[in-house]
Structure 1
Amino acid sequence: MRSGLVLLSVCALLLSGFRIKSGEKDYEDFKPHMRAVYSSLLTIFPLTLNTKSFTSKDNTKAIQENLNLIAQHAKEINTLAAKDEKGHAYLSLQLERNARQAALKYKDGFHDQAHFFVEELYDTCLSCHTSRSSSGDSAFTMDLSKNLDMEAMGTFGKAKFLALSRQFDRALDEYERILKSRELSLEELLHFDPLVDYLVLSVRVQGNADRPLKTFNELLKRPLPGPVKHDLESWQKSLKQVKNRPKKMNDLEFARTLIKDVNRDRTGLVNYIFASKYLKDHLKKVNISANDKAETYYQLGICELSIGESLMSGESGMYLEESIRLAPKSPFAKRAYELYEESVTLGYTGSAGINLPPDEKARLDELKKLVF
């Protein structure tokens, strides 16, 4: 079931939210690849709604051919997106890698692994759609959603699909309906952590502190588990304190004030989400200095590490790496390297110890030489 939503999410990414910064000509070059992906998705969508359909020999040819096409055009999309800002370029690279792996694993008969990489596509698309402070509905996804069984997507499937299709107000409505209902179990609340997704949509995408504040006020009137109540009270306090950016400050300067002396844990989440919004806005500006750009990436890396949600996995490392490469002798470069090294090492640490792949070790060595 989920793979169907995943593939739709790819389509939503390509047809509604993606814009190449370098110009209209590049966007025109991009359109044929979007259309090709759209065509493939429409062909295999009915076959990806459940595991039996996805693994049936009767459907193998159609699924494989279309996964190959998606991978092929995702590669072209990545080539074009490399011209965009680093965060978007990184997500397009992840899109290509996951599409390629989904096609390869399906070809080799590893259907569970193919499902995994298709789900990774979903996370990449959702990251892209919630990483920017812009909104706007997609006529395509709105029309397509009329034919979807939203209730079959799981507790938060509808809310996430609405976010993917850039119907942000409707997505927030759905999150609020679920959070305020008596249907949500404690297990779902803790496992899926929908409050973080809700905050990202409200604060970063829409820049709205009043909406979640109203929701949290209502939720706090109920009996709640201690950790959930503590989070809501901390976020409520932060939402009340966050002010609009003073005119005398640019976005980078204001972001610094938002996260200065703020804990890198859930109590500081609102500040880090707001700061990431202003930092991403700062990167859209032209003619900012290399040092300012490097610091913006550094601060973004800290923000994403602090937000700590699965939607942003990997993005923090990309920001920290870019910061180091832009200004390896800056005052913040050493700290950027330390954070990058820590996040990479933890990612490859298991019961057998640290097992860094050769390419990751080479990258760490290269960055270390730049900084020290």
Structure 2
Amino acid sequence: MIDRSVSSSPSLTWRRGARRLTASGLIAVMTGVVAGASTAMAAEPDEPRPTMRAVFEEMKVLIPLSLDEGRWSDPANQTRILQALDRLERQADALERHGRAREVGFDALAINLADDLRQVHGYYRQGAFDEARFFLTGSLQNCVSCHVRLPSSQSFPLADELLSQVEIQALDPREQAWLNVTVRRFDAALAAWEALMADPEVAPAQLDASGVLVDYLNVVLRVRTDIPRAKRTLERLSRRQDVPVYLESRLESWRTALSQIDPARYGGERPPSLERGVELAETASIVNEGPFGRDGLIQDLVAASQLVRWLEADQVRQLEANRNPTDAERLDRARAYYWLGVVESRSLDGFWVNLSERHLEAAVRADPKGPLARRAYNRLEEAQVLGFGGSSGVHLPADVWTTLKELRELMGLTAPFPPGVRPEDDAATQSTP
């Protein structure tokens, strides 16, 4: 559903905004190794770690080469690159199989990664080197998104093998920060962002427009769950004399929200709470103001942390129970998925990675006859119909209509699709290299 038009820019920096908004996007570096964070409530199984290590070994070769357009297309490097892409594609398929046992967001990220890497491999074989570089860069946003979903104190021991390469050293500070995130150098990333916020040469408006503030809060609250650190950082930033009026108000709103969140209740070592997650998401819905609705960002980020962790723990509970869920369990899971979808659609979805629609779909599937099914479906259908620019709300891809039709049937809805809708006509548009 995303128009991922090909860009030939060699930089790892790009603008990633909500797909249907004109807001400035976040700065991100797309590199690293796919890995889920581990917590006391939802520890990651050991089995995918060898696969992750293998992924890193290939990325260690591909990323520096992709930063140089000449080296990326050089015939002397093509055999090496194709071999690395072939191995990487196989490893991504293995991670996709692992993702099926996780909360559906992790499953979606693994599927997206595998699909994107097939695109990279296909384009490179055809000699479409710019397209291959673009999809390689984009595919690794899945890695970034995976790393920031759960609390973690881990570091990646082989990080220096990538960080020390000359091409990586040439990246700007914002890209360096995200590079540290992808190799689990979370404190180094936070320190880099904090240095940017303290740099008088970098205007606060620029920090906001480039996504530094949101990126920082995403990591400090969801990965480190360090509410006191976030409060100190925003307090220092608010003292700068060059903060624009709108941002001054927003910083005040964020600081107020942080002061109302008890760190002892939301730490990564504490069990997640569905009720607290839903309450925060509902609060964010009330306080959001402005054209981009970011006043409730703090509540949304902490809510997302609680809800993802709760869903991971719920997945374990359901597997251990070895029975069909009760009506109450179905409703709880639907609530978690619904509010996670709402939070992601307004605060977390990006240009390349979009998990809100997958979670809204999961909310319907979890409890199709329940009280949240219609609300979740309405949001999902609206996002699909309005999200495909130029489709006139009718000519959507066949797989989209198939999913919507299946959800309607699960819910018992009999309303017809709009006149003239013929999903099978769109099947030919779903092409790969």
TM-score, structure 1 as length reference:
0.87
In the other structure, the counterpart of 2:317 is: 287
Matching residue's letter, 1:258 = L
The match for 1:139 is 157
Name the counterpart of 2:299. Answer: 271
CA contact (8 A) 1:17 1:129 kept: yes
Identify if the C-alpha distance between structure 1 residues 332 and 44 changes in structure 2 by more than 3 Å, giving closer, same or farther: closer
Q: Secondary structure at the match of 1:139?
A: coil
Q: Give, in whole Å, the separation in 2 of the partners of 1:207 and 1:335.
A: 30
Q: Is the 8 A contact 2:105 2:355 kept in 1?
A: yes
2:93 to 68, 75, 80: 75
Corresponding position of 2:34? 13
Aligned partner (choices 260, 272, 293) of residue 282 of structure 2 = 260
- Deviation, 1:231, is 2.2
| CA displacement at 1:59 relative to structure 2 | 1.9
* Structure 2 counterpart of 1:237: 256
Between the aligned residues of both structures, percent identity stands at: 28
Question: Among 110, 127, 130, which residue is 2:128 paired with?
Answer: 110
Measured in 2, the distance between the counterparts of 1:311 and 1:138 equals 27
1:24-35 paired onto structure 2 within 5 Å: 27-28=46-47, 30-35=48-53
Query: Does structure 1 residue 156 correspond to structure 2 residue 174?
Result: yes
Tell me the number of residue pairs that the alignment of Structure 1 and Structure 2 aligns: 362
Matches within 5 A, 1:171-250: 171-185=189-203, 188-222=206-240, 223-243=242-262, 244-245=264-265
Q: 1:295 to 1:266 in 2, by over 3 A?
A: same
User: C-alpha separation between the residues in 2 aligned to 1:234 and 1:159?
Assistant: 25
Aligned residues of 1:78 and 1:96 also touching (Cα < 8 A): yes
Q: Which amino acid aligns with 1:280?
A: V
* Partner Cα distance (2:347, 2:187) in 1: 22
Partner of 1:332: 372
Q: CA deviation at 1:159?
A: 0.6
Gaps in structure 2 of 5+ consecutive residues: 1-9, 14-28, 319-328, 414-433
Secondary structure of 1:13 counterpart: coil
Report deviation, 1:271. 0.5
Q: Which residue of the other structure, out of 373, 389, 403, is the alignment partner of 1:349?
A: 389
Letter in 2 for 1:287: R
- Of Structure 1 and Structure 2, the greater helix share is in 1
Quick one: structure 1 residues 34 and 240, their matched pair in 2 at CA, closer, same or farther if it must change by over 3 Å?
A: closer
What's the CA shift for 1:320? 0.8
Identify the residue that residue 305 of structure 1 maps to in structure 2: 345
Per the TM alignment, residue 65 of structure 1 is displaced from its structure 2 partner at its CA by: 2.3
* Aligned residues of 2:173 and 2:192 also touching (Cα < 8 A): no
**Which amino acid in structure 1 is aligned with residue 220 of structure 2?**
S
Cα RMSD after superposing both structures: 2.9
Mapped to 2, the partners of 1:42 and 1:150 lie a distance apart of 10
Task: Quote the residue 1:85 is aligned against.
Answer: 103
Please give the alpha-carbon distance, in whole angstroms, between the structure 2 residues aligned to 1:225 and 1:369: 50
CA distance in 1, matches of 2:50, 2:404: 38
Distance 1:39 1:197, change over 3 A: closer
Distance 2:168 2:206 in 1: 18
Q: Secondary structure at the match of 1:277?
A: helix
The alignment partner of 2:369 has SS state of coil
